[in-house]
Chain A
Amino acid sequence: MSRIISRKKHKFILSIILMLMLSLFIGECFATPSYTSSTATRNSIAYNWTFYAQGLLENNCLAYSIGNETDWIWPWGGSNPDLNQTLYWLQSVMGFTGQTYGSTPYQTCSVTAYGWSNNVTHFARVLSSNSTWATGTCRAKWGRYEIFSHSNLNPYTNAYGPLIVRFY
């Protein structure tokens, strides 16, 4: 009886060690969850928000907006793009069509961009939209913070700025 208990103990210890070994390698491979923001921080960034998911540190808003939830995508240089650079990349490279305010009728869109004409700061993935400029719902990765849903397409304070382009 004591031999059986001893063998079981031996197997248990070995399995703990093997798990520790595995975690050494897995720790190098797995992505890291995003930072957690406070409610005060969230309220300073958006007028409306609902927490959706933790997201990954390695993933940015541009990548997330076009459906990539693992990478950091940035085709520009050290400065944020202006409106023309944003339109060029999303249209000529990624195949979207952009609509700025006033270029009606607004099509059902899938990506939105935020900021100002000389400084585009942020991108979101559209969940629903119609022919009204800011009506719809969207979801976005907030830099190295989490992923949030919004109840309209123009939810941000000057932290990110106003809706500037709708892409379909």
Chain B
Amino acid sequence: MKKKLLLTLSIVLGITFLSASVFLFNFPSKVMAKELNNNISSMMEEIDKGAKNDLATQLSSNPYDYTKDNMYFEKIVDMGYPALPLIEDYIQKSTQNGLREYLLAIASEKIAKVDLKSDGNGWSTAKMFLKEWDRHLKVVPSKATEILESNKPDADKALDLKKLGLPAAPFIIDYLDGSNGEHPEIANTLEYLVKDSKIALFTNDDYSNFINWSKMNKNKFNDLRNYVNKRK
């Protein structure tokens, strides 16, 4: 009798553990996903701690107030591009559309260096952010090409490309490939977008020998390129 009970208990606990693992770690990169999950939990714990000492913030409906002085929010941003698909997946799969998800949407914009609310008709919840993000990514390849091939001066092109954010980086690299220092303003934009992305390092010094830099680093942007292109 006891043996039967122990066996049943072991099977049930085993199924529980397996299901929890699949449920909680159903992400492409398990280590990155675990890091993200830990940072998300810690981010919310920091906010909960604030409930005792910071009345003004806890009364606030402005989600950006909860990102201030929150080191775990900054850690999520510091994860760079590799966290973006995971954050998108997290918000999508979440059954909630609350503050936590909203903070992740803010983090996504910071990582990608975009402002999808700038035209006044932006998103107002995390789930709405996903739609705007998807819509933005869909047009990045064509818009980047249109900007780069236009007759505008490079300085204007550089400003327009900045607004597309990090997703435009692979397409800017394609454009700069084969150039020999003729587009320093666009190279500046690439430097700005790629900085802190955790994909590769690029500075203006690298632009003086772009062919070499491209040979060593272009492939590192394939994941980002695919992430953008899969929206078409």
A: residues with CB less than 8 A from B are 6, 10, 13-14, 17-18, 20-21, 24-25, 28-29, 31, 35, 41, 44-45, 56-62, 70-80, 88, 93, 121-123, 141-145, 159-160
Contacts and interface: CB of A to CB of B under 8 A. Distances in A.
Contacts, number: 108
A143 B51 CA distance: 11
Nearest to A78: B64
Given A14-B8, A58-B98, A75-B117, A159 B51 contact: no
Contacts of B20: 24
Contacts of B179: none
A73 B125 contact: yes
Interface residues of B, number: 41
Interface string B74-115: 000000000000000000000111111110000000000001
B181 to A, nearest CB: 37
A7 B2 CA distance: 11
A35 B98 contact: no
Contact of A61 (B57, B61, B64): B61
Contact of A45 (B9, B57, B59, B61): B59
A145 B124 contact: no
B14 to A, nearest CB: 11
Given A17-B9, A159-B59, 7 more contacts: A10-B8, A58-B96, A58-B99, A74-B102, A78-B64, A143-B60, A144-B58
